[in-house]
Structure 1
């Protein structure tokens, strides 16, 4: 029993100095917290340490919480931060000071910051925005986007699309028009999107103008690999070796290596009408078949493992093997 008492007394002596030290310390919230739109769909958060905050031997960090549009929490020792987010519905964040010393952590009150949504009439912004990228034989990236006009957008509404990739921003110059002569599609034959990068964001911003209403802007973020329309596998060859069908091909035009791709192999028995679609993870394939039948073969590709899956490629040209 005496041993337990001595252990408890030792623990109290170890903990008490920290408790007493903490009681005399105040933690003040940061000051001059500002939110600034620094680029399309990018916010610059900036603040300053509270001048009343004691420095001494304390470690000072800051808790940052993004409340909208997407919840996120992180801490930093810096007094600024950049965040990429869609801003057409506004942006709300808060910060507080973290004071760390020994094994204790103290927190200040929160300080709020807000960016109001941009002006614009309800249901005038575009809807159903979709985008796709293509990698050309010259290793450049093209971009194609399409959308529907807002339900309450006046007939004279003109929409204008911009994309941002990293620090580069460009306005569309090549539009397709729909009903009432409004822009509903945009094409960039060449962009600054880097085909060798993995999972970077593409920002799409569409605003508009009308004589009869303020058009509300719209933004959307796309993973660059998730919207890539993968190229078709190249140099596909098929042949028979006794009772086996053998197929070989090369990976699509891409900066990614061979191991980053998966394939679907479509085999159709023209005699029976049966059809198989088989998953393949290599650049060749062997399958036992009925050599008395004639078959059609097509292959398509997608990337995986190395990055986010994109859109499946188109099917390769039809090849035939077997007896007529």
Structure 2
């Protein structure tokens, strides 16, 4: 039946020798359909069976992975057979050039060279490794370099919806224009083939590397040093007081102001008492009064 063979068949080679092939189940294939993938490097060699399948929810094969794939110049023959208890299944076959489906690894040995006067920065690298080696193929690559401002990239409010422009170069080095030593940048690089038997699709990005100084403004440095100094002094005083001082010494009672009016009253009372004590004793004299009564 038409529509029983696999659909959207595609393969990609990663990490030099790992190949993953995927497909969709035919739109008219019965639910019990099972697919099997084979490949053959040449007519003189035997077919290779898929060593590891990936299944869907119904248990049907929808992908296959190969290891230690060797990339050759000639086409490689792929065929997917299908079987079912309900219907005959069409097979699918295709000839593929393996170097065309290879996803290149990132460029190697990325290094950065600075110069301060004038301020310049040059990024250098080496071509990615290939599963097949040929002599004098350094000229068969094109590179794309992505440079972002680290501060802007880290702040979502400063990000722009516009895509960051990527520079394309032919040589394995790039001089950053208008380089600012006080900023920090994030750099990534990837490669693709430009002629020769190399894939002409962009490969994987390299791990991001940081370049530049990301200098902090002088005012911020001064304020930070002042804050740190104040904190250190406060901690030293705290521990010294805790070690050698007591709460009573630190918080002695405040003397009350002297009331001069009370002092004067106290002094007056004291003088009065002293005068009273110094008075000589008083002698009381008795006077006898004789009353003569006249008798008539």
TM bucket normalised to smaller = 0.5 to 0.7
Q: Is the 8 A contact 1:270 1:296 kept in 2?
A: yes
Q: Out of 119, 138, 142, which is 1:258 matched to?
A: 138
2:53 equivalent to 1:175: yes
Q: Is the 8 A contact 1:245 1:289 kept in 2?
A: no
Give the structure 1 partner of residue 284 of structure 2.
Answer: none
Q: Out of 225, 238, 242, which is 2:112 matched to?
A: 238
Instruction: Give 5+ residue unaligned stretches, structure 2.
Output: 153-158, 215-296
Q: Is the 8 A contact 1:225 1:310 kept in 2?
A: no
Give CA deviations for 1:152-187 in whole Å, capped at 9, x if unaligned: 111111100011212332111210001311001111
Q: Out of 170, 175, 187, which is 1:281 matched to?
A: 170
Larger Cα-atom Rg: 2
Q: Is the 8 A contact 1:227 1:310 kept in 2?
A: no
Alignment of 1:1-324 (within 5 A): 121-134=1-14, 136=16, 141-167=17-43, 168=45, 169-191=47-69, 193=70, 195=71, 197-198=72-73, 200-242=74-116, 243-254=119-130, 255-256=133-134, 257-272=137-152, 275-291=164-180, 292-307=182-197, 309-324=199-214
Q: Return the structure number with greater helix share.
A: 2
Distance 2:200 2:50 in 1: 23
Q: Is the 8 A contact 1:294 1:323 kept in 2?
A: yes
Q: Is the 8 A contact 1:228 1:310 kept in 2?
A: no
The alpha carbon displacement at 1:144 in A equals 1.4
Q: Is the 8 A contact 1:268 1:276 kept in 2?
A: no
Q: Return the structure number with greater strand share.
A: 1
Distance 1:142 1:211 in 2: 33
Give the structure 2 partner of residue 70 of structure 1.
Answer: none
Give CA deviations for 1:204-252 in whole Å, capped at 9, x if unaligned: 1001111111111011222222101111111112243232221111111
Distance 2:194 2:97 in 1: 14
The two structures have a TM-score, normalised by structure 2, of 0.62
The alpha carbon displacement at 1:122 in A equals 1.3
Tell me how many residue pairs correspond in the alignment.
Answer: 196
Instruction: Give 5+ residue unaligned stretches, structure 1.
Output: 1-120
The structure 1 segments of at least 4 consecutive aligned residues displaced by more than 4 Å after TM superposition are 271-274
1:310/1:227 Cα in 2 relative to 1: closer, same or farther (>3 Å)? farther
